[in-house]
């Protein structure tokens, strides 16, 4: 272990300890070289009554921090700054808020804004601040996709992160590129449930935990990615990677960090979605964890949610927010704590000039093509709603126009900030924005499915979103579609949620064969379409999704997509923003 010598006045001064000496010795020489570069919700989810908001008197901690006990070193003030799900969004953008029962849009984010903000927040506690990111950073935008993440990492390094976790989308470019991109971070890497091949005891891809010595206080982190990643996404992305559930080893690492390593604070940094993170917070294996710093579902937790064994936070998405956790320790015990979700507001934080220049340089190789305007919209393109979104209605409208099948489907993605018309009454859709809408330019694929197959598949897709067992929930939202209308009840039992399916205005015929169109998931067998098994007559169309959208907008612009009632729940509004609500005093806003 050696001291980290900090020469940057905006960087935390702390000792960083690489983890688990046995981890290093279990790898071959190539991996040894790799390691040298490392430093480390509920609609339908039944939670115990103990799970509720945890409230803290915000003025209380401010007074304690100012107290003489902190200034004399008797007490220790530690700050954790947390971002996640940035998805390669480099610039200030429109951001969605829910205010007074309706959408509101404000300018937020941008890497240059974020850098200024992080530097300003560090100044509040310059010696004792750690900055962590919870994954899904170098996927989700044009520059990210076209550079396979490589253009994003140097920009993140300029922010002086201390710790990063791979998210479920970090695997999108394949295992080797994920390792390359993650290894390019100057921050420590961490993940305790991603393994080479099938050796889930020894072959960690990244160190399972990381320890920081902050002002004499040892702080431990253990990290987890979503164990459902290989099912949620194209199987080819995760080839060569084995994922395990956190419950299999979390108790081991918490005990090690607490008892052997002497950590006064233990954090889980995770990318599993709020439902799974709340579930984990209630498992006895998590005893000894102070906070689960969560990610994946882009939830905006403004007061930590309290489980039986740990508190849970999640800091939104797209570099629009920073979670700020302040803890005061005295004699190794928490004396006071406060959490806030802060907006990355360009009106409050001026853009950092250096990083703004570097962002422009990162975009420059692709700039000419990305600036091309492919269409206009007169209504906001939004993807925040759980069941149906204007953005995906645009995509499925384009697919239906091109191929005229019975049903077209778009996966339930969450990424992509809104695009909001200005004073002139429209917003321009550029090729760059198309990459944010569809950061994987997949091939279009069709197949024939029976009415029975379609119903069974939709029941499974509803379970993926609304399962009462949180460990079965995917991080994405409901699939979106055209040519079909679905009426369902969220709180009904698995397999019994659907009340009615209409195809082309007629009740679903269980015996009829329907034509269906979706995107090809790389690595799936030919007879699978959008996770539906045993489809018939599968045909790859040799057409890419981006080309379909561009062609459609060329003749249909301006477009005005809206929510139309394609997916309707009997027990939730069309504007449902989180599947985590029942049993919690939590509102996405």
Instruction: Place 565 in a pLDDT band, splitting at 50, 70 and 90.
Output: very high
Distance (Å, rounded) from C-alpha 478 to C-alpha 461?
Answer: 7
Tell me what percent of the residues of the chain surpass a pLDDT of 70: 87
**Does the structure show a pLDDT above 50 at 23?**
no
Q: What is the pLDDT of residue 263?
A: 98
pLDDT digits (tens, 9 = 90+) for 281-337: 999 999 999 999 999 999 999 999 999 999 999 999 999 999 999 999 998 899 999
**Does the structure show a pLDDT above 60 at 253?**
yes
Mean pLDDT confidence for 130-157: 97
Distance (Å, rounded) from C-alpha 355 to C-alpha 124?
Answer: 22
Q: What is the pLDDT of residue 447?
A: 96
Mean pLDDT confidence for 134-142: 97
Instruction: Place 74 in a pLDDT band, splitting at 50, 70 and 90.
Output: confident
**Does the structure show a pLDDT above 70 at 578?**
yes
Q: Which one, of 106, 548, 526, 124, lies nearest residue 345 by Cα?
A: 106
- Cα distance from N-terminal residue to C-terminal residue, the chain: 43
Domains, the chain, ranges and CATH? 41-357 (3.60.21.10), 371-569 (3.90.780.10)
Peptide bond into 553 cis (omega under 30): no
pLDDT digits (tens, 9 = 90+) for 426-468: 999 999 999 999 999 999 999 999 999 999 999 999 999 999 8
Q: What is the pLDDT of residue 248?
A: 95
In contact, 445 and 538? CB cutoff 8 Å: yes
Q: Looking at per-residue confidence, does 547 or 216 come out higher? A: 547
Q: What is the pLDDT of residue 59?
A: 52
Q: What is the pLDDT of residue 7?
A: 29
Q: Which one, of 485, 510, 486, lies nearest residue 498 by Cα?
A: 486
**Does the structure show a pLDDT above 90 at 496?**
yes
Distance (Å, rounded) from C-alpha 69 to C-alpha 53?
Answer: 29
Distance (Å, rounded) from C-alpha 342 to C-alpha 116?
Answer: 13
Q: What is the pLDDT of residue 8?
A: 35
**Does the structure show a pLDDT above 80 at 583?**
no
Scanning 240-352, the segments in alpha helix (DSSP H) are 250-255, 274-281
Do the strands 102-109 and 92-99 form a parallel or antiparallel pair, or are they unpaired?
antiparallel
Mean pLDDT confidence for 390-415: 95
DSSP letter, residue 493: P
Q: What is the pLDDT of residue 381?
A: 98
Mean pLDDT confidence for 48-77: 60
Q: What is the pLDDT of residue 63?
A: 72
Q: What is the pLDDT of residue 16?
A: 53
What pTM does this model have? Answer: 0.90
DSSP sequence for 433-481: HHHHH-SS-PEEEEEEEEHHHHHHHHHHHHHHHH-SSGGG--SS---EE
Instruction: Place 563 in a pLDDT band, splitting at 50, 70 and 90.
Output: very high
Tell me what percent of the residues of the chain surpass a pLDDT of 90: 79
Mean pLDDT confidence for 249-255: 98
Distance (Å, rounded) from C-alpha 139 to C-alpha 141?
Answer: 6
372-387 burial string, b = 16+ CB within 10 Å, else e?
Answer: eebbbbebbbbbbbbb
Lowest-confidence pick of 75-84, 171-180, 465-474: 465-474
**Does the structure show a pLDDT above 60 at 103?**
yes
Instruction: Place 201 in a pLDDT band, splitting at 50, 70 and 90.
Output: low
**Does the structure show a pLDDT above 60 at 549?**
yes
**Which positions ≥6 away from 116 have C-beta within 8 Å?**
349, 350, 351, 352
Distance (Å, rounded) from C-alpha 339 to C-alpha 576?
Answer: 25
Kind plus residue range of the DSSP H or E element containing 66 = helix 58-66
* Mean pLDDT score of the chain: 89
């Amino acid at each position: 272990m050696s001291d980290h010598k900090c020469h940057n006045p905006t960087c935390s001064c702390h000792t960083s300890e690489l983890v688990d000496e046995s981890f290093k010795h279990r790898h071959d020489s190539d991996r040894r070289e790799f390691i040298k570069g490392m430093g480390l919700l509920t609609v339908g989810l039944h939670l115990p009554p103990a799970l509720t908001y945890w409230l803290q008197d915000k003025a209380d901690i401010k007074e304690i921090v100012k107290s003489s006990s902190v200034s004399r070193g008797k007490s220790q003030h530690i700050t954790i700054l947390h971002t996640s799900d940035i998805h390669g969004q480099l610039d200030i953008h429109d951001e969605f808020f829910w205010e007074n029962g309706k959408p509101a849009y404000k300018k937020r984010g941008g890497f240059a804004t974020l850098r200024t903000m992080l530097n300003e927040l560090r100044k509040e506690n310059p010696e004792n601040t750690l900055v962590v990111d919870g994954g899904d950073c170098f996927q989700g935008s044009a520059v990210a996709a076209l550079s396979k993440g490589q253009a994003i990492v140097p920009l993140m390094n300029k922010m002086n992160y201390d710790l990063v976790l791979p998210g479920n989308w970090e695997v999108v470019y394949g295992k080797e590129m994920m390792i390359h991109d993650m290894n390019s971070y100057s921050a420590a890497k961490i993940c305790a449930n991603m393994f080479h091949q099938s050796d889930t005891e020894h072959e960690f891809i990244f160190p399972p935990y990381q320890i920081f010595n902050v002002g004499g206080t040892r702080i431990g982190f253990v990290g987890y990615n979503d164990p459902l990643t290989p099912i949620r996404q194209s199987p080819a992305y995760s080839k060569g990677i084995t994922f395990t559930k956190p419950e299999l080893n979390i108790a081991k690492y918490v005990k090690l960090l607490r008892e052997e390593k002497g950590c006064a604070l233990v954090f889980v940094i995770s990318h599993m979605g709020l439902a799974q993170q709340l579930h984990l917070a209630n498992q006895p294996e998590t005893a000894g964890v102070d906070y689960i710093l969560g990610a994946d579902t882009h939830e905006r937790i403004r007061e930590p949610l309290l489980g039986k064994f740990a508190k849970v936070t999640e800091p939104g998405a797209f570099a629009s927010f920073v979670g700020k956790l302040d803890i005061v320790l005295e004699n190794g015990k928490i004396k006071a704590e406060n959490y806030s979700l802060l907006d990355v507001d360009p009106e409050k934080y001026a853009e950092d000039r250096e990083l703004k220049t570097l962002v422009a340089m990162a975009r420059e190789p692709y700039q000419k093509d990305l600036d091309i305007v492919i269409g206009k919209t007169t209504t906001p393109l939004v993807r925040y709603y759980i069941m149906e979104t204007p953005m995906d209605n645009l995509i499925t409208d384009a697919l239906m126009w091109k191929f005229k099948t019975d049903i077209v489907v778009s996966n339930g993605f969450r990424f992509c900030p809104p695009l909001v018309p200005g004073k002139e009454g429209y917003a321009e859709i550029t090729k760059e924005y198309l990459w944010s809408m569809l950061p994987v330019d997949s091939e279009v694929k069709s197949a024939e499915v029976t009415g029975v197959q379609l119903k069974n598949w939709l029941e499974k897709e509803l379970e993926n979103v609304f399962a009462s067992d949180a460990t079965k929930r995917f991080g994405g939202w409901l699939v979106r579609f055209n040519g079909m209308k679905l009426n369902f009840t969220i709180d009904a039992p698995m397999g019994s949620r659907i009340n009615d399916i209409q195809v082309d205005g007629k009740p679903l015929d269980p015996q009829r064969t329907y034509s269906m169109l979706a995107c090809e998931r790389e690595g799936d067998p030919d007879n699978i379409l959008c996770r539906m098994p045993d489809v018939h007559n599968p045909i790859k169309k040799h057409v890419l999704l981006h080309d379909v959208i561009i062609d459609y907008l060329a003749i249909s612009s301006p477009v005005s997509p809206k929510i139309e009632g394609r997916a309707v729940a009997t027990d939730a509004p069309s504007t449902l923003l989180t599947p985590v609500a029942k049993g919690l005093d939590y509102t996405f806003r």
